[in-house]
Amino acid sequence: MAKNLTKRSEDYSKWYNELVVKADLAENSGVRGSMVIKPYGFAIWEKMQAELDRMFKATGHVNAYFPLFIPKSFFSKEASHVEGFAKECAVVTHYRLKNAEDGSGVVVDEKAKLEEELIVRPTSETIIWDTYRNWIQSYRDLPILVNQWANVVRWEMRTRLFLRTAEFLWQEGHTAHATREEAEAETHQMLDVYADFAQNFMAIPVIKGAKTENERFAGALETLCIEALMQDGKALQAGTSHFLGQNFAKAFDVKFATKEGQEEYVWASSWGVSTRLMGALVMTHSDDNGLVLPPKLAPFQVVIVPIYRGEEELEKISQKAKEIKQSLEKAGITVKYDDRDTHKPGWKFNEYELKGVPVRIAIGPKDLEKGTVEVARRDTLEKQFVPSDETLAQNIKKLLNDIQVNLFEKARQFRDENTCKVDSWDEFKEVLEGKGGFILAHWDGTNETENKIKEETKATIRCIPFDAKEEEGKCVYTGKPSSRRVLFAKAY
Amino acid sequence: MAKNLTKRSEDYSKWYNELVVKADLAENSGVRGSMVIKPYGFAIWEKMQAELDRMFKATGHVNAYFPLFIPKSFFSKEASHVEGFAKECAVVTHYRLKNAEDGSGVVVDEKAKLEEELIVRPTSETIIWDTYRNWIQSYRDLPILVNQWANVVRWEMRTRLFLRTAEFLWQEGHTAHATREEAEAETHQMLDVYADFAQNFMAIPVIKGAKTENERFAGALETLCIEALMQDGKALQAGTSHFLGQNFAKAFDVKFATKEGQEEYVWASSWGVSTRLMGALVMTHSDDNGLVLPPKLAPFQVVIVPIYRGEEELEKISQKAKEIKQSLEKAGITVKYDDRDTHKPGWKFNEYELKGVPVRIAIGPKDLEKGTVEVARRDTLEKQFVPSDETLAQNIKKLLNDIQVNLFEKARQFRDENTCKVDSWDEFKEVLEGKGGFILAHWDGTNETENKIKEETKATIRCIPFDAKEEEGKCVYTGKPSSRRVLFAKAY
């Protein structure tokens, strides 16, 4: 194969970087740390957006849009939030350029200095709660269930396409409630939506749990998350949902009159997933031949490639190919027919394998005679000849479903094989240095121990899994008593 | 009525500002010049987006995403572009804040100064053409038909919700072609898409034409536009499509090898519409009672309001209302049933009139007896009783269609009544100071005359209409010869 793609076993990180570019998902731009999401990559992100948006609306949420810029002073209003977010950020200080006096181009006009600097939003809790103050007077105004699709900026020093970029795209839900219970229920509901989406749409198995205090969102009382395992044994946080208590309501003075006429602060949640999911998608399913896409996210699920010599043959094959395309589309399948004469079939096979198209159909002159087509599935690379008659559409539909299920099962099997219970510090380090993966171990519950483990091994507590059983144990690092195992891993 | 909405005849501008806020479309934010688009307003924008996106894809375009930030030097590469855009803009100069030494909050960390300032994109030609350089080598790579949905920032001193805000949402198409003819055809095709959308979806009649040199996009060889007339007799530019020639290809060195092996610069178009369309929507159709929405853009097309005393009556009515809701939804109509007991029917009638819901259905106990409902249409405020049987869904469907058509016809009639041919300078000024509207007049074709007319009257040439007949005439200002009339108006 002429893909020149580094093998995962050689250098996983290099494989990822190359694949994202070669498969036309994204590339670095002329702006440090900012990526260009290319049309093929963006088409996948659009499918994610459409499904998530549908799920948000089905759970009663509506979309809105809040400003990109946040006055600097807003960040100082919530003490832990400013520490977490206002430090590494893009700061707008001026609002005008002028021609340089020496004719060398344009320069900042020092006369156009802003009285108060504006921060390009790293997340929107502050500007949104500043707005909610005017939206909420009484219990009748609650709950507010709002989501925003937006770009955000966090000034990252080391960036990687999709996984960590200065600017990224995301959605951020921001809800306001009359009671603590309702806000907590919302926080859990949205985590369930994320888990459902990751597993049933992206075919990525995830573990649901709560973050430790160390790893919580700046300003949250509790951060819930879904954690996935990549093929190199490192974890990736795929979504978070925060219970914010009354912190932002207090910081921005958002009170409401209860049914009983009391005045109380409003309860809040926020939750988000980002283009980082694109990275998770690539790193979960793809292989040394290129991208592998779950059918539910593929920009097109089937590609048809004609094998021919001369225009006459192409014409006959095209007629059949177009018939097939129509019948598949009628069955709700998205299809591309690639009859370009600028590229050979072998080149096209290679290209669509690299781009992870779930199913490839090839039709040659012999197929026309026999009434068959060659069907190749991307996940297993298996090929077989099947009748090109009226049964084809249903067969392909079933095959796409099988691929979707197979990808999830394969990823789950990998995850399970790479999750182990560990009861000693030596074993902990051994596993981590060896195959990596998820480690379920006892921990004494202190920030101090968590930090020491991180310093010594780079492993962090990914979450306290919801399904962790109560069991007596001893902290793997200090030997102090523990009542449940938590999930450790090195992480992206 | 208790809407406290200023009448259009009293103060059109105030009416608009109040209506946008009272109808829950948008409001000013804590950030100067930036608005919050509220859920009801955003739902309308989402409908616009969905339809435009469908139309772009139907004409072969794909979406992508390019960086928010543009290095300052990029702007200097295209001479007229920098004059047009790099002056009033948001400039990012630093990437870090730190705690103030006096404990007063956070301040800019002067150590974190960017080597080169970043401009928050006012439009993306420069960053996109910098990217296209790597995407285009040969004629095989062309055309590139890309669109981007994004936020942009232009530092406006006087802002108005939707019409002129520092940050706004838009789409920007950026296409690359092998020939001049193809790029020009694309420029015209997209203007047609915009006109089709404005007329058939927003029910806003528009005039298609070309801008004069004065009014062209900075960097374009030709700017095409659609112009609409608002109820106060002022014009609003509702969309533009630019033929950029090879200007950006030359500025960013984007060449391609032709089929014949020659090296040539690439030809370009760009085109965009923005949240400004929300302003056009409000100002075209709405009245002194509030918003009037075309059914194709209404977040919900029908609202059902129960009229009842006591829970028992509500229960019976609700049963019928839910049946009706189901049958309407089955017919593809979006419906809200408002059975809140916190507000009276009169309050609800008022509220939905203010919010422009195209059709209101009221059901009281007498309706149950008689097998009728009261149907009120928002555009004419007419009410009538109609059978609540199986004919209702089709009747409502027809009514929604009638409303869509009626709004367009009404707006067209207004536009036609407020468009007049003028042949003398006195008449020109008289019309402009009087009822305003579109003025078709002869112009000598010079920038100088155009500028003088603007200085004296504030009227600008909105466009040279495509359908302007060739006719001998004299410039309304200078008396010099002219071969066709152009379209003048005061404009938003």
The 10s digit of each residue's pLDDT in B357-395 is 999 999 999 999 999 999 999 999 999 999 999 999 999
Nearest residue, CB atoms, B46 vs list A63, A120, A150: A63
Give the CATH number, domain containing residue A312: 3.40.50.800
What is the structure's pLDDT at A81? 77
Give the gap in angstroms from C-alpha A121 to the nearest C-alpha of chain B.
12
What is the structure's pLDDT at B1? 46
Where residue B195 falls (left for φ over 0; alpha for ψ -120 to 50; beta otherwise) is alpha
Q: Do A366 and A322 sit in the same domain of this protein? A: yes
What is the structure's pLDDT at A104? 78
Return the residue in B95, B118, B132, B146 with the most chain A beta carbons within 10 A, the one to mutate for interface testing: B95
Mean pLDDT, rounded, of chain B: 96
Across the range B108-132, mean pLDDT stands at 96
Domain-embedded: residue A113:
no
User: Does A84 contact chain B (CB < 8 Å)?
Assistant: no
Domain-embedded: residue A239:
yes
Across the range B437-451, mean pLDDT stands at 97
Give the CATH number, domain containing residue A228: 3.30.930.10
Q: Do B269 and B326 sit in the same domain of this protein? A: no
Q: How far apart are CA A220 and CA A239, in angstroms?
A: 15
The residue that leads in pLDDT, B435 or A209, is A209
Residue contact A94–B98, C-beta within 8 A = no
Q: Which of B223, B250, B285 is the last residue of a domain?
A: B285
Of the pLDDT bands very low, low, confident and very high (cuts 50, 70, 90), residue B241 is very high
> Is residue B79 scored above 80 in pLDDT?
no
Of the pLDDT bands very low, low, confident and very high (cuts 50, 70, 90), residue B432 is very high
- The pair of three-digit structure tokens given for residue B218, joined into one six-digit string: 């900075």
Question: Which of B58, B54, B74, B59 is CA-nearest to residue B131?
Answer: B74
- The pair of three-digit structure tokens given for residue A446, joined into one six-digit string: 């202190």
Q: Do B456 and B353 sit in the same domain of this protein? A: no
pTM of the model: 0.97
Q: Do A253 and A177 sit in the same domain of this protein? A: yes
Structurally, chain B folds into a number of domains equal to: 3
Q: How far apart are CA B228 and CA A359, in angstroms?
A: 48
User: Does B92 contact chain A (CB < 8 Å)?
Assistant: yes
User: Does A43 contact chain B (CB < 8 Å)?
Assistant: yes
DSSP label of B151: E
The whole domain housing B349 covers: 300-398
Give the gap in angstroms from C-alpha A106 to the nearest C-alpha of chain B.
7
At residue B195, what is the residue type?
A
Domain-embedded: residue B94:
no
Q: Do A132 and A177 sit in the same domain of this protein? A: yes
At residue A126, what is the residue type?
T
Question: Which of A169, A34, A95, A277 is CA-nearest to residue B128?
Answer: A34
pLDDT in tens, A356-409: 999 999 999 999 999 999 999 999 999 999 999 999 999 999 999 999 999 999
Q: Is A266 helix (H, G, I), strand (E, B) or coil?
A: coil
Q: Is B71 helix (H, G, I), strand (E, B) or coil?
A: strand
Q: Do A331 and A268 sit in the same domain of this protein? A: no
Q: Which of B255, B285, B315 is the last residue of a domain?
A: B285
Give the CATH number, domain containing residue A460: 3.30.110.30
Q: Do A391 and A270 sit in the same domain of this protein? A: no
Q: Which of A399, A434, A456 is the last residue of a domain?
A: A399
- Asked if B178 and B256 touch (Cβ cutoff 8 Å), the reply is yes
Q: Do B389 and B432 sit in the same domain of this protein? A: no
Residue stretches of chain A with pLDDT short of 70: 1-2, 86
Residue contact B106–A72, C-beta within 8 A = yes
Q: Do A379 and A480 sit in the same domain of this protein? A: no
Cα-Cα-Cα-Cα dihedral of B389, B392, B394, B400, to 10°?
A: 180
What CA–CA distances, in Å, run from A209 to A16, A59, A304, B288, B451? Answer: 27, 21, 43, 53, 66
User: Does B20 contact chain A (CB < 8 Å)?
Assistant: no
Domain-embedded: residue A102:
no
Of the pLDDT bands very low, low, confident and very high (cuts 50, 70, 90), residue B78 is confident
Nearest residue, CB atoms, A87 vs list B97, B150, B342: B97
Domain-embedded: residue A190:
yes
What CA–CA distances, in Å, run from B46 to B37, B38, B42, B43? Answer: 11, 12, 6, 5
B positions 238-297 inside 8 Å of A (CB): none
Domain-embedded: residue B64:
yes
Q: What is the DSSP string of B42-70?
A: HHHHHHHHHHHHHHHHHTT-EE-B--SEE
Residue listed under structure tokens 């029917």: B345
What is the structure's pLDDT at A77? 87
Q: How far apart are CA B37 and CA B204, in angstroms?
A: 22
Q: Do A62 and A177 sit in the same domain of this protein? A: yes
What is the predicted ipTM?
0.96
User: Does B385 contact chain A (CB < 8 Å)?
Assistant: no
What is the structure's pLDDT at B4? 86
